[in-house]
Amino acid sequence: MQLPRPTRIGRRTFHWGRRTFIMGILNVTPDSFSGDGLGGDVEAAIAQAERMAAEGADIIDVGGESTRPGAPEVSAEEEIRRVVPVIERLKAAIDLPVSIDSYKAEVAEAAVRAGASLLNDVWALKRDARLAGVAARYGLPVVLSSSQRDAPVADIMPAVIDSLRWAIGRAAAAGVAPENIIVDPGFGFGKTVEQNVEVLRRLGELRVLGKPILLGTSRKSTIGKVLGDAPPPERLFGTVATTAIGIMNGADIVRVHDVKENAQAARMADAVVRGVTVYLGLGSNLGDRERNLALAVEAISRDLRLNQLSPVYETEPWNVAPQPRFLNMAIEAQTALPPSGLLDYVKNLERILGRAAADPGQPRVIDIDILLYGDQVLDTPTLIIPHPRLAQRAFNLVPLNDLDPELKHPVTGLTAAEMLSALGQIRGVEPYQETASD
Same domain, 320 and 358: yes
Give the pLDDT of residue 428.
86
Note whether residue 94 is domain-resident. Answer: yes
Same domain, 220 and 185: yes
Distance in angstroms (rounded) separating the CA atoms of residues 81 and 319? 64
Give the range with max mean pLDDT: 58-67, 68-77, 138-147, 304-313.
138-147
Note whether residue 124 is domain-resident. Answer: yes
Residue 268 vs residue 1, higher pLDDT: 268
Same domain, 364 and 406: yes
Residue 427 vs residue 402, higher pLDDT: 402
Q: Which domain holds residue 228?
A: 7-273
Task: Read off the pLDDT band of 69 (50, 70, 90).
Answer: confident
Nearest C-alpha neighbor of 24 from the set 52, 46, 51: 52
Q: Dump pLDDT digits (tens) for 347-367.
A: 999 999 998 776 566 788 999
Distance in angstroms (rounded) separating the CA atoms of residues 409 and 400? 11
Note whether residue 437 is domain-resident. Answer: no
Residue 36 vs residue 86, higher pLDDT: 86
Note whether residue 2 is domain-resident. Answer: no
Same domain, 408 and 374: yes
pLDDT higher than threshold 50 for residue 436: no
HSE-up of 176 (CA within 13 Å, CB side)? 29
Distance in angstroms (rounded) separating the CA atoms of residues 405 and 423? 15
Note whether residue 148 is domain-resident. Answer: yes
Phi, psi of 305 (to 5 degrees): -90, 110
Neighbours of 37 (CB within 10 A): 17
pLDDT higher than threshold 70 for residue 146: yes
Same domain, 188 and 65: yes
Distance in angstroms (rounded) separating the CA atoms of residues 47 and 174? 37
Region 73-88: mean pLDDT is: 95
Yes or no: say if 96 and 117 are a contact pair by the CB < 8 Å rule: no
27 burial type by CB count under 10 A (0-12 exposed, 13-18 middle, 19+ buried)? buried
Same domain, 173 and 144: yes
Give the pLDDT of residue 12.
95
Residue 185 vs residue 305, higher pLDDT: 185
pLDDT higher than threshold 80 for residue 267: yes
pLDDT higher than threshold 70 for residue 181: yes
Give the pLDDT of residue 195.
98
pLDDT higher than threshold 70 for residue 151: yes
Distance in angstroms (rounded) separating the CA atoms of residues 295 and 303? 13
Give the pLDDT of residue 435.
56
Catalytic (active-site) positions = 220, 255
HSE-up of 218 (CA within 13 Å, CB side)? 25
Same domain, 267 and 288: no
pLDDT higher than threshold 70 for residue 1: no
Nearest C-alpha neighbor of 21 from the set 48, 52, 59: 59
Give the pLDDT of residue 35.
47
Note whether residue 436 is domain-resident. Answer: no
Same domain, 113 and 132: yes
Same domain, 115 and 126: yes
Cross-sheet strand order for the sheet of 98-101: 181-184, 142-145, 118-121, 98-101, 59-63, 21-27, 253-256, 214-215
pLDDT higher than threshold 90 for residue 269: yes
pLDDT higher than threshold 70 for residue 383: yes
Yes or no: say if 67 and 77 are a contact pair by the CB < 8 Å rule: no
Single out the residue in 240, 273, 306 at which a domain terminates.
273
Note whether residue 170 is domain-resident. Answer: yes
Question: How far, CA to CA in Å, does 328 sit from each of 333, 344, 387?
Answer: 17, 21, 16
Give the pLDDT of residue 3.
76
Q: Dump pLDDT digits (tens) for 298-318.
A: 999 999 999 999 999 999 987
Same domain, 309 and 402: yes
Question: How far, CA to CA in Å, does 252 sit from each of 118, 141, 154, 195, 244?
Answer: 15, 15, 27, 21, 11
Question: How far, CA to CA in Å, does 166 sit from each of 80, 129, 283, 373?
Answer: 28, 12, 40, 39
Single out the residue in 252, 273, 294 at which a domain terminates.
273
Same domain, 46 and 70: yes
pLDDT higher than threshold 60 for residue 26: yes
Yes or no: say if 178 and 135 are a contact pair by the CB < 8 Å rule: no
Same domain, 268 and 363: no
Looking up residue 214, the CATH number of its domain turns out to be: 3.20.20.20
* Percent of the chain surpassing pLDDT 90: 85
pLDDT higher than threshold 50 for residue 437: no
As for how many domains the chain has, the answer is 2
Give the pLDDT of residue 68.
77
Least confident window among 90-104, 313-327, 382-396, 415-429: 313-327
Neighbours of 414 (CB within 10 A): 15
Q: Which residues pair with 430 in a beta bridge?
A: 314
pLDDT higher than threshold 70 for residue 62: yes
Looking up residue 389, the CATH number of its domain turns out to be: 3.30.70.560
Give the pLDDT of residue 318.
76
Give the pLDDT of residue 37.
55
Single out the residue in 273, 288, 309 at which a domain terminates.
273
Note whether residue 332 is domain-resident. Answer: yes
Give the pLDDT of residue 438.
45
Give the pLDDT of residue 355.
87
Average pLDDT score, the chain: 93
